[in-house]
A and B are shown apart, each in its own frame.
Chain A
């Protein structure tokens, strides 16, 4: 609960700073890449110093490669069904937005380029909501939809920004599948987004 409040507080604080534009060096430079590298380095150290992890990894099955496939099919199917409740957007619009899988920078840029600017903004917000909902609701996801669900819901972010939350709620033994899942879903984003933009 304390974590959730902090997450929302920092996001809204960032929005406020961006809107007022007060400390100018924060607005004109993009530090996200640097921070992302720090995060992955810290996560790596966390994994490396866990001595029982290697034993746990041996119990993983190769069938877990199915997890990225489930993520992609589940997201697209869910978005396709719900697209009928948005009269302004076509089926392919909704599928293009949903195939961002949390990879907000890439998918919103591709959609802005191939479709329209406002759909690009929808994609950006959609991916941010996806990442945020995993950060906030991951414990609930595990309780009601099993230990794989935070990984699948995180989409492409399961290998970076949501990885710490996933390992906390699903267990350290899921770190390997979360990273592999993140990489595979990540790679699918440019292909799926351009495909749905072109139809």
Chain B
């Protein structure tokens, strides 16, 4: 019963459009958009308007976070259990991040350390 309700909540913000084929089309079109941007940026590299676009990136990230906040805030299942579920999430994430950073540190040391030694 509980799972039903939470699914409905997800539906409103996330789930409605996510099925397998949608996810791949979604990712594919995101990459196409990026490539289109690269070509436009290349062609119009000296255009004044185009050179102002990088300044827009951070504001766009802020808008994305705002939308993410709405998804959390409008979901009572998250808001009402934020303390316990949030703590669990924080513990698991910090474990994963520490493991990842350790790996990244070792790989970086191996790759770039060697490069410096060569040069």
User: How would residues 23 to 61 of chain A score, 1 for a CB under 8 Å from any chain B CB and 0 otherwise?
Assistant: 000111011110111111111111111110000000001
**Given known A-B contacts A6-B62, A126-B92, A149-B100, A45 and B6 have beta carbons under 8 A apart:** no
Do B37 and A75 touch across chains, with their CB atoms under 8 A apart? Answer: no
* A169 within 8 Å of B (CB atoms): no
Q: Mark B32-57, 1 if CB is under 8 A from A, else 0.
A: 01111111111111000011011011
Q: Please report the total number of A residues contacting B with Cβ < 8 Å.
A: 108
Q: Which of A16, A28, A42, A183 touches B37 (beta carbons < 8 Å)?
A: A42
A residues less than 8 Å from B63 (CB atoms) = 10, 35
Residue of B nearest to A187 (CB): B27
Contact of B72 with A18 in the complex, beta carbons under 8 Å = yes
Q: C-beta contact mask, A152-182 vs B, less than 8 Å → 1, else 0?
A: 1101000111001100000000000001000
For chain B residues 89-107, which have a beta carbon within 8 Å of chain A?
89-107
Scoring A residues 105 to 130 as 1 if CB is less than 8 Å from chain B, else 0, what string do you get?
A: 11011001100111011111111111
- What number of B residues sit within 8 Å (CB to CB) of A? 85
- Establish whether residues B74 and A18, one from each chain, have CB atoms under 8 Å apart when the complex forms: yes
Quote the shortest CB–CB distance from B21 to chain A (angstroms).
12
Which of B7, B68, B69, B104 is close to A151, meaning CB atoms less than 8 Å apart? B104
Interface residue? B3 (CB, 8 A): yes
Interface of B is mostly: helix
CB–CB B61/A39 < 8 A: yes
Q: Contact check, B89 vs A122: say whether CB atoms are below 8 A apart.
A: yes
A48:B70 contact, CB within 8 angstroms: no
A121 near B45: Cβ-Cβ < 8 Å = no
Residues in A neighbouring B108, C-beta threshold 8 A: 145-149
> Which residue of chain B has the shortest Cβ distance to A118 in the bound complex?
B85
CB within 8 Å for A141 and B93 given contacts A13-B66, A118-B81: no
Q: Please, how many angstroms separate the alpha-carbon atoms of A164 and B99 in the complex?
A: 23
**Are A44 and B37 within 8 A (Cβ)?**
yes
Residue of A nearest to B7 (CB): A112
Question: Which residues of chain B are within 8 angstroms of A13 by Cβ–Cβ distance?
Answer: 66, 69
> Chain A: residues with CB nearer than 8 A to chain B?
3, 6-7, 10-21, 26-28, 30-33, 35-51, 61, 63-64, 66-67, 70-71, 73-83, 85-86, 88-89, 94, 97-98, 104-106, 108-109, 112-113, 116-118, 120-130, 132-133, 135, 141, 144-149, 151-153, 155, 159-161, 164-165, 179, 183, 186, 190
22 pairs, A vs B, C-beta closer than 8 Å: A11-B68, A13-B69, A14-B70, A15-B73, A42-B53, A43-B34, A44-B34, A45-B40, A45-B54, A49-B41, A70-B100, A108-B10, A117-B2, A117-B6, A118-B81, A125-B78, A125-B86, A130-B93, A146-B104, A152-B100, A153-B104, A179-B34
